[in-house]
Amino acid sequence: MSPIDRREFLVQSAGALTAMALMPTTLPAAAKVRGAELPVGIVGLGRQSRAIITELAKIEGVKIVGVCDNDPARLDQGAKRAPGAAAFASHKELLERSGAKAVIIATPTHLHREIAVDAVSAGAHVYCESPMAHTLADARAIAGAVRAAKTVFQVGLEGRTNPVYKLARSFFRSDSVREVVSMRGQARQKTSWRVPASDPARDKMLNWRLDESVSLGLAGEWAAQQLDVFCWYRDMYPVSIRGWGDVVVHKDGRKVADTIGLEAIYPDGRRLAYDATLGGSYEGKYELLCGVNASIKLAWTHGWMFKEADAPTQGWEVYANRQRFHDDEGITLIADATKLASQGKLKDGVGLPNPALYYALNEFVRSIAEGKPSMASVDDGLRATALAVASAEAVAGNTTVELKPEMLK
């Protein structure tokens, strides 16, 4: 070994390794729309659209020119949140009259198909919330329309555009973790999903997630996002899903389970355990991948790596910021760690400054502005939908559903 001492060697190695793992795409700058502003239309003005409007305001060069909802009260509220945007009662009117070149679909899942197909057929770029559809037939119809178009189509699988998740994936796919021994995920939030309504017709419209004829329930609204993370990290999809579910807390006449459990089995025999509930919030929402050398825990705005005591040193540990978790010590996964360390600001880098939705929308705008493929393509959305549909079926029947290869195409 050269005359430099071990610590200097580790520092130099760490800098090189970190630079390789933390490419600029892991902490993306705000997308820039060159020339004229990008006119955007939003279809669906519920709770998610409020967050979308907030995050779009952070992206330079984006202008909301139209909003749409078939509920007059929501349409009025949405128009007030997007000053200057024209209000439309149908997506067809928005496509024809707003001048929008990009459309964001934030309607109930079972309404995505017609809007998405019409939008791409009209030559618009489309961002479609996840899950992409509530049936495989609808997902395939959307995929067929997108493949025939030349515009950008991005599905709201937010893990794929999340800087922490992309950074952690680079560690996961190196020797830092090695063989996966177990996987676990959960989503827990104390809420009812029920929206107050003044009449039966509006109740049916607003509470579509509680309608078993159109809703995938927790398997679609929450699990679809999280299961996609595991599949993306491992580049493989389960061969079967075992599920169970029940109305444990909200006994208000609903049939859609408020608490579910899933077990996914992958081609290599590895198993993923997942649970979700509307009955409590303990430990919130996360994904955990445990390996021989380390485990990675992801929590959407944060990520941690837990190294095994006997795992070899790889160099980047010099710049690691450590946090205690009960009896364990976690290495916080921080984008741009080398730069922050040199400035003495490592702790300032813990956690993302924006929610995951911002980075998803930012990458959508970037793909349009730079003519680059979407980070969460229609094919990714089709496979995530197939997984969600199978999971919902398994939960509803308290059974095991096989995921055949043709279901993922």
Q: Where are the domains of the chain?
A: 165-349+378-408
For residues 401 and 242, give the distance between their C-alpha atoms in angstroms, rounded to a whole number: 6
3-class state of residue 157 by DSSP = coil
Out of 3.30.360.10, 2.60.40.10, 3.30.420.310, 3.40.50.300, the CATH code matching 165-349+378-408 is 3.30.360.10
For residues 78 and 192, give the distance between their C-alpha atoms in angstroms, rounded to a whole number: 23
For residues 285 and 272, give the distance between their C-alpha atoms in angstroms, rounded to a whole number: 15
For residues 42 and 85, give the distance between their C-alpha atoms in angstroms, rounded to a whole number: 10
- For 83, counting Cβ atoms within 10 Å of its Cβ (0-12 exposed, 13-18 middle, 19+ buried), the class is exposed
3-class state of residue 210 by DSSP = helix
Helix, strand, coil percentages in the chain from 3-state DSSP, rounded to 5: 40, 20, 40
**pLDDT, tens digit, for every residue of 193-250?**
999 988 999 999 999 999 999 999 999 999 999 999 999 999 999 999 999 999 999 9
How much is the pLDDT for 43? 98
For residues 26 and 167, give the distance between their C-alpha atoms in angstroms, rounded to a whole number: 6
Instruction: Give 164's DSSP letter.
Output: H
For residue 64, is it left (φ>0), alpha (ψ between -120 and 50) or beta? beta
For residues 386 and 288, give the distance between their C-alpha atoms in angstroms, rounded to a whole number: 22
The count of other CB atoms within 10 Å of the CB of residue 3 is 5
CB 294 within 8 A of CB 177: yes
Q: In tens digits, what is the pLDDT along the chain, a chain of 409 residues?
A: 343 343 443 333 333 222 222 222 345 667 777 778 999 999 999 999 999 999 999 999 999 999 999 999 999 999 999 999 999 999 999 999 999 999 999 999 999 999 999 999 999 999 999 999 999 999 999 999 999 999 999 999 999 999 889 988 988 988 888 899 999 999 999 999 999 988 999 999 999 999 999 999 999 999 999 999 999 999 999 999 999 999 999 999 999 999 999 999 999 999 999 999 999 999 999 999 999 988 888 999 888 888 787 778 766 555 555 655 556 655 666 555 545 444 444 455 567 888 999 999 999 999 999 999 999 999 999 999 999 999 999 999 999 999 999 989 8
